[in-house]
Amino acid sequence: MGALLWAEGFENNETEYNLIYEATFGTGYYRTTGGHLNNGGYGEIWTGTNRFSYVNFPETGASFGVGACVGRRQSASTNPVMRLAYTNAQTEELTLTMTATNLLQLKRGSTVLGTGTTVINDSGWHYIYMEVVLHNSAGSVTVYLNHVAEITVSGVDTSENGNLKIDRVRFSNAFIDIDHMILLDAGNVPTQDWVVQEMLVDGAGNYSELTPSAGANYQNVDEATIDSDATYNEHATLGKRDSYSFANPAFTITGDILGIIARIYATQVGPGTRVVKQFVRVAATDYDGADGTPATDYSGVLEEGFQQNPNTVIDWTIGEINVIEAGMKVQS
């Protein structure tokens, strides 16, 4: 089932990367308590007319699936639920919104592509997932509400701007809560509730080769909210690595593990361009990810996805997740 391209559990209060409001045009918050299943946080969207917030993720191709657990805080309003967009375009590729009669409705621009039949007039959490093929004439979308197909369209134009890709979900005139947002490879529609669970560093791994600002290396990267240069690890020598152990997931995992996302905040100092690699260490073996170029500040995050265990080349098990190490290597 390994199909995870990106995930966000909204369990920290970083607004620099994943949950962003566009200047004075909207508001997007992390809430560090609560959320669906009380998982430790959720995203709170509070935007007015012509105001926008958005959640960034890696650029997709034309076919993908995107979903989230969504809670409505104003049940009698026509809240846009998810706007699928590329870059900062004011006109999205597709919009999933709510009608005045509390039905999900799929639009391309102002064109209604389909309307659901299930009334959603409560303030509880609902799993919403969209399986999408962006195409100018032969596109298709299936919208799932709590794992049941609610809207299905095919053989239609599903790309308002013709980008045939997205890299964010935008929110406008929206008063909703979001949690457990995922981006999956096409053809992997979840059939049960999913949970995005953050795992924070809790100990030293096999490598402690970077130079700590103070104390033990792992203690400089174990905070839920990054503290910029208050604590850090650094090194200029190529090939040096740091790896860390992680606290076990808080929830009992009973279904498929869609994948893991390793995420680090890093910055480069001095002239030139530096490159790092994220890696996971499984069964005493290191598996490097792709090259990543840190920014000159902490305004960005480097992410590396591992859909399957690279050691077994099959889906992860919870036992493997519980003993995994991950870290960073100085590449160039």
pLDDT above 90 (res 58): no
> Is 194 part of a structural domain of the chain?
no
> Is 195 part of a structural domain of the chain?
no
Residue 15 banded pLDDT, cuts 50, 70, 90:
very low
Residue 30 has a pLDDT of: 45
Residue 41 has a pLDDT of: 59
| Number of compact structural domains in the chain | 2
Tokens of 35: 């959320």
pLDDT above 70 (res 26): no
The verdict on 127 and 246 lying in the same domain is no
C-alpha distances in Å from residue 163, one per residue of 91, 152, 159, 242 = 11, 22, 7, 39
The verdict on 179 and 207 lying in the same domain is no
pLDDT above 50 (res 206): yes
Which of these, 330, 208, 212, 221, lies nearest to 270 by C-alpha position? Answer: 330
Looking at 155, 184, 213, the residue that finishes a domain is 184
Residue 227 has a pLDDT of: 85
The verdict on 243 and 300 lying in the same domain is yes
The verdict on 20 and 99 lying in the same domain is yes
The verdict on 318 and 267 lying in the same domain is yes
Please give the backbone phi and psi of residue 220, each rounded to the nearest 5 degrees, phi first. -85, -5
> Is 161 part of a structural domain of the chain?
yes
The verdict on 96 and 243 lying in the same domain is no
Residue 49 has a pLDDT of: 55
> Is 167 part of a structural domain of the chain?
yes
pLDDT above 90 (res 112): yes
| pLDDT, mean of residues 300-304 | 84
The verdict on 32 and 112 lying in the same domain is yes
- What CATH number did the domain enclosing 102 receive? 2.60.120.560
Tokens of 264: 């680090």
The verdict on 171 and 25 lying in the same domain is yes
pLDDT above 90 (res 63): yes
> Is 189 part of a structural domain of the chain?
no
- The amino acid occupying position 79 is N
Among the listed ranges 35-39, 123-127, 230-234, which one has the minimum average pLDDT value? 35-39
Residue 170 banded pLDDT, cuts 50, 70, 90:
confident
Residue 326 has a pLDDT of: 97
Residue 124 has a pLDDT of: 82
Residues 249, 230: Cα–Cα separation, whole Å = 27
> Is 190 part of a structural domain of the chain?
no
Residue located via tokens 């279904």: 255
Looking at 184, 218, 233, the residue that finishes a domain is 184
Provide the mean pLDDT of the chain. Answer: 84
pLDDT above 90 (res 22): no
| pLDDT, mean of residues 220-244 | 92
The verdict on 133 and 88 lying in the same domain is yes
> Is 192 part of a structural domain of the chain?
no
The parent domain of residue 311 ranges over 201-330
The verdict on 20 and 121 lying in the same domain is yes
> Is 33 part of a structural domain of the chain?
yes
- The amino acid occupying position 251 is F
Residues 124, 119: Cα–Cα separation, whole Å = 13
The verdict on 149 and 205 lying in the same domain is no
Residue 320 has a pLDDT of: 95
